[in-house]
Every structure is written in C-alpha cells, then in structure tokens.
Amino acid sequence: MKITKTDTVTEISEISGLSCLEGADIGSPALLIVHISGTVGTDESIRDFFLNAPFITAAAGSPSDGSLSGLFDLVITEEEAAELPEKLYKDKSLRQINEINDIFIAARKGASQEELLTMESKAFYRLMAEKNGGGSNE
C-alpha cells in the first residue's frame, strides 16, 4: 500500500483490500482518495470506517465491485481524482474546507435535503460574518 499525504488530501494506491485502511497512517485529511483497480474485499468493519469517516471519501479508477458506491462518498475516474482536490478546495481556508466536509458527512449519514440546505445556509452566513468581521445571524 502506498500512501501520499498533503495538508488536505490523502491518496492511497497499490491496495489489496480495504480492510488495511483501518490501521493505516492516513493522517487527518479533508479528502481521502483510494485508487482502486479490479475487485477489493470489503467487510462489515470497513463499512463502519467509511460511514464514520471525518472526511470526504472517493474511490478512483475502475473498480469492478459495484458495492463500493455504497461505501465511498464519490466514485470517480482517475482523471477526476486528479482534479477533485482543486475543484473542492481551491482558494479555501481551513474553516471553509471544514464547512464543505460537514455537509458531505451529514449527507452520508442520511440528513434530509432540508437539513442539508439549512446547514449550507448557516455555513454561508457564518463564513460571510467571519469575512466581514461581524457576528453571524444564523
């Protein structure tokens, strides 16, 4: 298994099974991209790992296992994996990145559209208040 870490992204490649992620030193990324080719094994404990992950998860490549879409927040191509961090986080502060991730994580855990829109709206007002040096009117 090969792990590449930056401030906001951890990328994992050369992986034989997803269960090895549980003990891996992946740091504290905002985004975890796992490069997958072919079939990788999954078990119940890894489902808990992905459900409770405090970051956005993406499977990149050509996974032949259709059940991976239920594990990862995103299933993307290798080309999309190269562009995703910039699309999500370009010119964003750590606070903005955390707000984006909170909404993704809430969606993963089953929040309704109304709850997600409320979260997004409150995050927008918090960030605008921070930018303008004032209090938030959530």
| Average of per-residue pLDDT across 33-52 | 79
Does residue 106 have a pLDDT over 90?
yes
pTM for the full predicted model? 0.84
User: Would you say residue 137 lies in a domain?
Assistant: no
Report if residue 7 sits inside a domain. yes
Do 75 and 102 belong to one domain? no
Contact (CB, 8 A) for 19 and 86: no
- How is residue 112 written in tokens? 């309704």
| Shared domain check, 112 and 54 | no
Residue 21 resides in a domain: yes
- Judge whether 128 lies within some domain: yes
Burial of 79 (0-12, 13-18, 19+ CB in 10 A): exposed
DSSP state of 90: T
Q: Is 72 a domain residue?
A: yes
d(CA 113, CA 28): 27
Per-residue pLDDT tens digits for 46-56: 888 888 999 99
Total domains in the chain come to 2
Q: Other C-beta atoms within 10 Å of 126: how many?
A: 16
pLDDT of 25 reads 93
What is the extent of the structural domain holding 128? 94-132
Distance of alpha carbon 45 from alpha carbon 60, whole angstroms = 21
Are 111 and 47 members of one domain? no
Residues 12 and 44 in one domain: yes
Amino acid at site 133: G
Give the residue-averaged pLDDT of 6-28: 89
What SS3 class is residue 22? coil
If asked whether residues 83 and 116 sit together in one domain, one would say: no
d(CA 124, CA 70): 29
**89: Cβ–Cβ under 8 A, 6 or more apart, which residues?**
8, 30, 31, 97, 100
C-alpha angle 93/27/87, rounded to 5°?
40
Do both 98 and 85 map to the same domain? no
